[in-house]
Every structure is written in structure tokens, then in C-alpha cells.
Structure 1
Amino acid sequence: MKKSLTALAVLAVAGVASAQSSVTVFGIVDASVTGYSNKSSDLNGPTILKPFYLNKGSVTTSRRELANSAYNTSRMGFRGTEDLGGGLAAGFWLEAPISNDDGQQGIATFARRSTVSLSGGFGEVRLGRDLTPTVWNEVVFDPFSTNGVGANLILTANNAGFGNFGTPAASTAPFTNVGTNNYIRASNTVGYFLPPNLGGFYGQVMYGFSEKTKYSPGQATPDVANSQRQGRYAGGRFGYANGPLDIALAYGSSTIGDQFYVGTTTKINSLNLGASYDFGPAKLFGELSRATNKMDYEVTPAAGGRPDIDLTGYLIGVTVPVGVGLIRASYAGVKFDANQPSTPFAPRVADPKSNKLAIGYVHNLSKRTALYATVARLNNKNGAALTVGGPAFVTAGGFTAKTSTGYDFGLRHAF
């Protein structure tokens, strides 16, 4: 009996395998020695009220570690396609983050991507968890993409310091959170991609469901925050790539909060434009970005409601091939604007700003294996507190975040 069951199981697996056109196991293992140094300064001095104030100088937090994903994000995945005939194909993609520096996180969640799709001459319809259209420009049009101490500053500012993009459920340590933070990736989405034969034009749209429970009549709705719309995402990206030129415009709207009985909905609307041009000896990159954290009211308050909060950013970068290696460099800046009304006879509060310079080198030992090194320095002004990574700034006791410096020296292998 056991032999019969085993034979049936083998036949079933063989039947699935024969119907599947291709199944691939893939991944990246990336490890680096990484260091961070984040400095805060006491910017205060003697005043009329405190004539004998003694400035405390500065305090630095630092850390050195064996990290992962400083060049490419460590991952392991499975993807496959099935030819359905008539130009149709079905596909799946399951991709998990891994922490190879300590082995603590393996294939526990497919938090990077978890999709099933149907494609043909009409394009591709994709269902599941995926990258949002708006984050693609920050991935593609930065020499350092989203990894390591040189990672895109615009992405850092949006993801770490601009509205929190929702209130995700608590993570189950040490697994990556797949809650409602939909700045980089969104869950519960339906996406559509244009076919690739449009003379260089490409594009996609995505809608992510909030999956909130609705009540009828509305008075039965619980009086709790974020019960109706928070978590919803809608966005799109359209571009043109031909020869050395690639340019794309993306827009996305993330609903990050709602109060049903107050009648408010809080959204972050993001717009960015990215481009690159390969001259041969060097490839140039650029990005312009604007995000607005806004609150919509069913009934606008007499005082006008909360002002919008804006985050603007720019980035320029370059890569230069040198033999089997690649030099990378970028410079970026961001500014936060709370749009607060000016107060008579009071100095205007300066907008928080940050800028970042990153330089690196990648030495390709083969098509799949590379050594790399990156150094980066970030400067904060007017109360901004962004870092290249590592420990938080000391801000208690009158200290203000100032500079953040970091380095990565690592090895990446893809399979």
C-alpha cells in the first residue's frame, strides 16, 4: 500500500513538472563589514535667560557590524511559467528576504514579492504583493539603488521620516513586516503591465486594497482609528527606454490613516521623475521627487485644517566602467516643508534639510560574484535627523542631529 501511494505521488509531481515550462530557484547572498558614525551637536549658547550656559559640544553614536544586503538585497526565491498556448502564459514569483549575516531570517515570509500572473499580447496582469510603481524610479535611477550606506536619500527620507505610511501590525521577530507600509511594496494588489513591444514605451498601474470591513448603516462602524481606508494604494508609472536613454514618470497615492467619525482621511501623494543616459564612458542618472502628506476633510474646519506637509528631493549620479569594475557616485538633497503660517514679529522657522554624498567601487570577479566598497556622508540642517544607517542620533539634553557617516566593504554572490 505504501509503495502504491509513493508511486502515485511521484506520478503527480511528474505531471506538474511536465506541464510547467520552467521553474527557477534563484537568489543573492550579500555580506559586508559595515560601519556607522552619527554625530549630534549642542548648538546652544549663552542667552539673556541663561547667561552662563556652557555648551556641551558633541556626542557620537557608532557601530561596526557584519551586515547583509549592502550592494544587493540578500534573497531567495522561486519563479516559474507555464505556456498555456495561444500566446498566453501563467506565472508565479515567490521571493523571500534572508539575513545571511546571522542566519536568523530565512524563507519565513515571501515579503519581497509574492505574485501570480497571466500574460499575453495584451500585457501582464499580476496579483499579490509587489513593488509599487513609485518606488521604481528610486531603484532604477540611482547608482546605489536602495542598498547600503549609499542608498537613495529620497527613499530614505520618504520611508523613514514622512508619515510612516500606515500603522502595520507588529512584526513577529525576526521576520520582515508585511503590514500596511506600502511605500516600497504593497500587499493585496492588482497590477497591469503594458506589453514589451511598444517601441520602447513601457508602463504599469497598480491598485492595493485596504481590506477594511464596511458597516451598514454607517453608525455601526467602530469608533477606532484607521478602520475604513488606511492601507489603500493606487499608482502608475510610464516611461520610454530606447538605446542609451531611459526616462520615466511615476505617481502614487497611499492612504496612511483615517478617522471615520471625525471625517478625515490622510494620504501621501508621491510624484517623481527619473532618467538615465549612457554615454559609454559614463552613465548619468537623475531624479526629481515631490511627496505631499495631506489630510482630506468631509467638512473643512473653520480654521482651514492642518496644512499639507511637503517633501521635495533631487538626485544626480554617475557610473563609470573601469575594466571589470564600476565606479559609482551620487549626490542628493531633500527638504521637509510643514507649510506653517508665519508669526508676526517672529523669525521664520527654517525648513529641515539633508544632503548626502556617496562614492563606491564594484569589482566584478565574474558575472555572479563581486567585491564592493562604498563610503557615504550625510549632513542634516535645521532639525532634520536622517542617517546612512546604524544607531540613532542622541537628541535628548539639547543635542541636534548633524552628520552621519558610513562605509561598506563586502562580497556579493548571485545564483
Structure 2
Amino acid sequence: MNKHAMAAAALALIGSMAHAESSVTLYGRIDLGVGNLKELGESGSTQMFNGGDAGLTTSRIGFKGSEDLGGGTKAIFKLEQRINATDGSLQSPSFKGAAWVGVKGGFGQVIAGRMSTQLDDVRAVGNSQIVFDSAFTPGSNGVYKSGGDYSSRFNNQLQYQSPSMGGFYAGLGYAFEQTTGEDDKMNSLIVGYENGPLHVALARQDEKGKDTDYISLSGAYDFGAAAISGGYNRRNGPDASGKDNEFTIGATVPMGNFKFSAGYAASKTTIGGSTAGKASGFALGTTYSLSKRTRVYAGFRKHNVKDAGGNKTADTRLFAMGVRHDF
């Protein structure tokens, strides 16, 4: 082999080694549906919906990757932009879904930037088998907002999550001020256990800007023939907004390419020890997988919110069907 061939082979080897030590993945999904939405005091309107409004999930495009730093440590990152697929516009802010960088190794994972909170991760466990944790899921789409809901993402955030130790894990989160000059920081704590079909998690989130703290306890179990999940949430706010107590439960049953799911949620708001509002809702849904990356779906959700006198302040009914494609 001559020197030029040897040099070319060496460069090719070095390039392949470098490529093997780092990776970048382009991913995304498109979710669009057509449905009918009826609100309190209004006639129903049939229209096309973005998936996040009346489907399985918000459309998005993202980049994620890692680089091997040696010694079992990796640099990691994620950038995710949310999209309104009905017209192609980008949701604000840019990279609304995620914009973070960090390191991962035997010590666990540390990331910094914009990301979901650890309380949101726990809520996701509780909703995982409740109509596909989608726009049809009653708890996160109207029922839990009778007294005011938590912030699911924060900017300027630091998060640590421990490695799994026999299924047990824990983590801490802290967000610096969101608005210059405002005391709107956030801190959070998560503990959980995940092993095989069982996942249980507990989180607390303290939002200084709202003078409010949230606690969420969730669990999920997959029996094979069916899977269930549920959760309990508590919001403790200032005197003006009082407290919320909320719960949800649901199940998903797979049958061939079909999955059928149902769920229920309820909440109660108290101010000064008296009931200030109640909310409840239920939902049904099904998906059919056309392939590993494409599924069609249909779902129905109904919920209402009542004030202290029992008068309805919200009464929503949604039916929609659509298609989701992941890439």
C-alpha cells in the first residue's frame, strides 16, 4: 500500500472513530385532526385542529445529540421547536419545547436551559394511560385549572437527576428569575421508583412568582393485557386563590393494532376553608397504528367547571379524529 493510500485509510479511520463518538438526531412529529368543539353558551364549530389543541400531541421538529467525553461521561443537548401544522407557523418562543445542554455519566445527569419541570414529569406518569396523555386527557385540559395550574416549563433552569439505584431515583431543579427584577424563581424536588411495569413518582414545585407550591403523586402499572395510571395533585396558593385538590385515573387496553383508553378527573378549590369551585371531566379515545411511526385516532372529552354556587363557568365538549406521524 503506498503512502497516499495509507494516509487516506488513516483519515477515514479517524473520521469513523469521531463519528462513532458523537451523534446528532433530527426528529419530529406532525399531528393534525378535524373535530367539533362546543363551549358554554356557544354552538359547536367544526374545524381543523393542531394536535396539541384537539389531538394526540403538538407538532414539532427537534435536534438532540451526545458526544462521548471519555470515562463514561457524555455531553448532551436538545433543541425542540413547536409548530402549528395547520398553517406552518412556529410557536413562540423559539425552541419552546426544549433548549438545553448538559453532561451525563455515572453520577447522573445535569442539564441547563429551558426544559420541562420535574413536577411536569410526574404529572406525565399519572396521565400516561389516560387517553394517551393528549388533548383529550381531562385533567390537564380544563379540570385542573379551576384554581390555577402550575408552570410546566421554566427558562434559566438547572436540573439534576441521579442515576437509577435499584429502580429508585431522585432529582433537584432550580430556575433563576424569569423576568428581570422580579422574584419569580422556582425550585423543585422529585423522587421515584421505576422497575419493569411499575412506575411511581412524587414531586414538589415552589413557584415564587405565584407564591404557590404544588405537589404531585403519580403511579402507573402495565399488566400486559391492560395498563392503568393515576395521580393526586395539591396546589397551595395565597389566600386569594386558596387551595386545589385534584385526582385522575384511567386505563388503556391494547387489541392488535388498536388501543382503547378512558379516563376521569376531578378537582375542588377551597378558599378560606369554603368550597369556591369544582371541576370534573371524562374522556374516551382510540388509536390504530398503521405502522411504527403513523397512527390514526379519535377521541371525545367533556368537562365542566362550577363556582361556589354550583353555576357552570365552563362546559366543554370536544370530539376529533386525526393522524399523527413521527419521524
* Fold agreement, TM-score > 0.5: yes
1:112 CA drift (Å): 0.5
Q: What is the aligned partner in structure 2 of residue 112 from structure 1?
A: 97
Q: What is the aligned partner in structure 2 of residue 269 from structure 1?
A: 213
Structure 2 contact 147–241 (Cα < 8 Å) conserved:
no
Give, as a single letter, the amino acid of the residue that structure 1 aligns with 2:48. L
Query: 1:127-142 alignment to 2 at 5 Å?
Result: 127-142=112-127
Residue 136 of structure 1 aligns to a residue in which SS? helix
Question: CA–CA distance in 1 between the matches of 2:262 and 2:154?
Answer: 30
**TM-align CA RMSD:** 2.6
Choose which of 316, 334, 339 in structure 1 pairs with 2:267: 334
Give, as a single letter, the amino acid of the residue that structure 1 aligns with 2:235. A
Structure 1 contact 35–63 (Cα < 8 Å) conserved:
yes
Q: What is the aligned partner in structure 1 of residue 290 from structure 2?
A: 365
Question: CA–CA distance in 1 between the matches of 2:307 and 2:178?
Answer: 39
Give, as a single letter, the amino acid of the residue that structure 2 aligns with 1:335. K
Give, as a single letter, the amino acid of the residue that structure 1 aligns with 2:162. L
Query: 1:11-50 alignment to 2 at 5 Å?
Result: 18=19, 21-39=22-40
Question: CA–CA distance in 2 between the matches of 1:126 and 1:120?
Answer: 12
Query: 1:5-404 alignment to 2 at 5 Å?
Result: 18=19, 21-39=22-40, 59-69=41-51, 70-105=55-90, 109-142=94-127, 143-144=130-131, 146-148=133-135, 150-154=136-140, 156-158=142-144, 160-163=145-148, 183-196=151-164, 198-210=165-177, 227-230=181-184, 232-256=185-209, 266-294=210-238, 306=239, 309-339=242-272, 350-382=275-307, 400-401=312-313, 403-404=315-316
1:63 CA drift (Å): 2.3
Structure 2 contact 23–67 (Cα < 8 Å) conserved:
yes
Question: CA–CA distance in 1 between the matches of 2:56 and 2:163?
Answer: 30
Q: What is the aligned partner in structure 2 of residue 396 from structure 1?
A: none
Q: Give per-residue Cα distances to partners, 1:142-181, cap 9 Å, x unaligned.
A: 1235532x134256455x554576xxxxxxxxxxxxxxxx
Pair 1:314–1:154, CA change in 2 (3 A): farther
Structure 2 contact 155–178 (Cα < 8 Å) conserved:
no
Q: What is the aligned partner in structure 1 of residue 12 from structure 2?
A: none
- Number of residue-to-residue matches in the alignment: 308
Pair 1:377–1:206, CA change in 2 (3 A): same
Question: CA–CA distance in 2 between the matches of 1:228 and 1:108?
Answer: 20
1:135 CA drift (Å): 1.2
Structure 1 contact 76–107 (Cα < 8 Å) conserved:
no
Residue 352 of structure 1 aligns to a residue in which SS? strand
Question: CA–CA distance in 2 between the matches of 1:286 and 1:154?
Answer: 12
Pair 1:356–1:161, CA change in 2 (3 A): closer
Question: CA–CA distance in 2 between the matches of 1:21 and 1:123?
Answer: 19
1:283 CA drift (Å): 0.8
Question: CA–CA distance in 1 between the matches of 2:147 and 2:133?
Answer: 17
TM-score w.r.t. the length of structure 2 is 0.86
1:235 CA drift (Å): 0.5
Structure 1 contact 383–400 (Cα < 8 Å) conserved:
no
Give, as a single letter, the amino acid of the residue that structure 1 aligns with 2:120. V
Question: CA–CA distance in 1 between the matches of 2:217 and 2:172?
Answer: 16
Question: CA–CA distance in 2 between the matches of 1:401 and 1:242?
Answer: 42
Give, as a single letter, the amino acid of the residue that structure 2 aligns with 1:279. F
Q: What is the aligned partner in structure 1 of residue 321 from structure 2?
A: 409
Question: CA–CA distance in 1 between the matches of 2:126 and 2:175?
Answer: 24
1:68 CA drift (Å): 1.6
Which structure: larger Rg?
1
1:212 CA drift (Å): 6.0
Structure 1 contact 21–80 (Cα < 8 Å) conserved:
yes
Pair 1:106–1:234, CA change in 2 (3 A): closer
1:140 CA drift (Å): 2.4
Structure 2 contact 32–49 (Cα < 8 Å) conserved:
yes
Question: CA–CA distance in 1 between the matches of 2:188 and 2:42?
Answer: 40
Question: CA–CA distance in 1 between the matches of 2:179 and 2:285?
Answer: 45
1:384 CA drift (Å): 9.6
Runs of 5+ consecutive residues of structure 1 not aligned to the other structure: 1-13, 40-58, 166-182, 214-226, 257-265, 295-305, 341-348, 386-398
Question: CA–CA distance in 2 between the matches of 1:354 and 1:308?
Answer: 15
TM-score w.r.t. the length of structure 1 is 0.69
Pair 1:164–1:321, CA change in 2 (3 A): closer
Give, as a single letter, the amino acid of the residue that structure 2 aligns with 1:195. P
Pair 1:84–1:384, CA change in 2 (3 A): farther
